[in-house]
Amino acid sequence: MAELRELYQQVILDHNRAPRNFRVLEDFNREAKGDNPLCGDKIAVQVRVEDGVIADIGFQGSGCAISKASTSLMTDAVKGMTIGDATKLFGRFHAMVTGQDRNPDRKTLGKLAAFGGVREFPARVKCASLAWHTLKAALEGAGQPVSTE
Ligand code: ZN
């Protein structure tokens, strides 16, 4: 178990150091901003949706390692997914980080399972889920900034 935890830590460190899709998307049709004042995490997510599929996604922002790595891993995970599948994945991720699902399906979650340990740190749950709430707002076209408060 300790080895697994170390592996997960590596995933988070890697994505914090070299975040994927960390760029302004030039050609997008959905956008939302997310704010976690408790920690100071701020992100902006742009999505290009084509025929109900997340064709491309980019993000900018600043925050702690957890929020940055989570946003990076999220963009990697949902790119190419239908909106329905991305919403389902958010449900699984949310259940994992909040501890509602104590035995998350690692196969479905893939690298996202790296955030399984977050449930031990309630203050960090918001850091890990900010990206997903922001994506949801973008896909729903709410246009309102998301705050975890
Ligand atoms: Zn944070």
What pLDDT score does 144 carry?
64
**Centre of ligand 1 from the C-alpha of residue 69, in Å:** 10
Domain covering 2-143 in this structure, CATH number: 3.90.1010.10
**Buried/exposed code over 92-128 (b: 16+ C-beta within 10 A; e: otherwise):** bbbebbeeebeebeeeebebbbbbbbbbeeeebbbbb
Please tell me whether residue 82 adopts helix, strand or coil conformation.
strand
Ligand 1 geometric centre to CA of 52 (Å)? 30
How many Å lie between the centroid of ligand 1 and the Cα of residue 35?
10
- How many CB atoms neighbour CB 72 within 10 A? 24
Cα of 107 vs centre of ligand 1, distance in Å, is: 26
Whole-model pTM above 0.75?
A: yes
pLDDT at 70 exceeding the cut of 70: yes
Q: Decide if pLDDT at 65 tops 80.
A: yes
Q: Which long-range contacts (CB under 8 A, 24 or more apart) does 111-119 make?
A: 111/11, 111/73, 111/76, 111/77, 112/73, 112/74, 112/77, 113/8, 114/7, 114/8, 114/9, 114/11, 114/12, 114/69, 114/73, 115/8, 115/12, 115/66, 115/70, 115/73, 116/8, 117/5, 117/8, 118/66
Output the CA 57–ligand 1 centroid distance in Å. Answer: 21
- Whether residue 142 is predicted with pLDDT greater than 70 in this model: the reply is no
The alpha carbon of 148 and the centre of ligand 1 are apart by a number of angstroms equal to: 11
Q: How far is the CA of 68 from the centre of ligand 1 (A)?
A: 8
> What local confidence, expressed as pLDDT, does residue 149 receive?
74
Q: How far is the CA of 38 from the centre of ligand 1 (A)?
A: 8
Cα Rg, the chain, nearest whole Å: 14
**Average pLDDT of the segment spanning 42-49:** 97
Q: How many Å lie between the centroid of ligand 1 and the Cα of residue 12?
A: 13
Among 15, 113, 14, which residue's Cα sits nearest to residue 59?
15
For ligand 1, the distance from its centroid to the CA atom of residue 51, given in whole angstroms, is 33
pLDDT in tens, 87-137: 999 999 999 999 999 999 889 999 999 999 999 988 899 999 999 999 999
pLDDT digits (tens, 9 = 90+) for 1-44: 567 677 789 999 999 999 999 999 999 999 999 999 999 999 99
